Amino acid sequence: MNSALMLRRFICVNASATLSSVAPSPRKKPLIFLGSPQVSVTVLEALFDASSAPNSSFEVAGIVTQPPARRDRGRKVLPSPVAQYALEKGLPSDLIFSPEKAGDEAFLSTLRDLQPELCVTAAYGNILPTKFLNIPVHGTVNIHPSLLPLYRGAAPVQRALQDGVEETGVSLAFTVRKLDAGAVIASKSFQVDDQIKAPELLSLLFSEGSKLLIRELPSIFDGSAKVKAVPQDDSKATLAPKIAPDEAWLSFDQEAFILHNKVRAFAGWPGTRAKVLVLDDKSGQQNELELKIITTRICQSTEVLNGEQDYATFKKGSLVFPCGGGTALEVLEVQLPGKKAINATAFWNGLRGQKLKKL
């Protein structure tokens, strides 16, 4: 056999072996993320990071979020924090969807075209109809910041803090038509510090929830999550209804622990407020003030209650308000309308000897 023929055969055999040894890279599974506020960004960030790993089996194929709205003091129309983050990460704008309702037919048609294998929700803020839930191959899973079936609804962290719970957590559950009632894939519990406020607790729970999600994604994609997911016991369910703005008002007739828990629960939005009367004994003038109560703690001392029950006193950096049941609330930080938040010492010094009466 001449050398030219042998060379041609060698090249053909080796080329064939090389081609057969290189398997085509599998198509990554399309995942759609639904979320809107800043706490949702933590979850989206974890998904982007996991999808960029060399062995990742999925990609973030699209984002669904609330429509642009007026935000901040400038009241400019801005995209949601999730949309803004996705744009910064380089996701094409035509893959960021903001339907008024998740049941809009035009939106659902586009979603079907993306052929998602999984949808993930984290504080999206819209009800998902059956037509939506039927689209993703492996369903929709939700990160819910409570230990389901406790605190189903729009404000689980706020209502848990308002109730003064000592333990809460985060759940990863399948989404069904009934509110937050799907089988739970995984959960993690936490002890609740008696000074933590809702924004900090929300951030913690969604951060931990994103870790649960990334850990469980393989089982969700291979179908084993549906087998191991634990159905919720509806008889143990409690509700966490949306907060109304008029819930922000504090009444010092209630016990201090109730007020303290409310301040923690409603921190951020809608906040908590109290009306007080500033009295000047020298001039006889009276001035009603609306105070936003920022930070509090329950007073452990009873000696501050020996004085007049209708007036606040000042003790060791705190405004001390007598409350119902012989209790007292220490207010550490306040804010006047249109002003910056200040500590109790600065506020008390600004009174210049005037009295502060509860209303």
Tokens 């870790």, located at residue: 211
Q: What's the CA gap between 85 and 351, in Å, rounded?
A: 45
Give the residue from 90, 39, 26, 30 showing the smallest Cα distance to 65. Answer: 39
Query: What's the pLDDT tens digit per position in 160-190?
Result: 999 999 999 999 999 999 999 999 999 999 9
Alpha helices for 99-171 (secondary structure H): 105-114, 130-133, 156-162
Instruction: Specify the pTM.
Output: 0.90
Query: Domains plus CATH for the chain?
Result: 29-240 (3.40.50.170), 245-358 (3.10.25.10)
Query: What's the pLDDT tens digit per position in 246-268?
Result: 999 999 999 999 999 999 999 99
Amino acid symbol at 131: K
Q: What is the pLDDT of residue 57?
A: 96
* Statement: residue 25 has pLDDT above 80: no
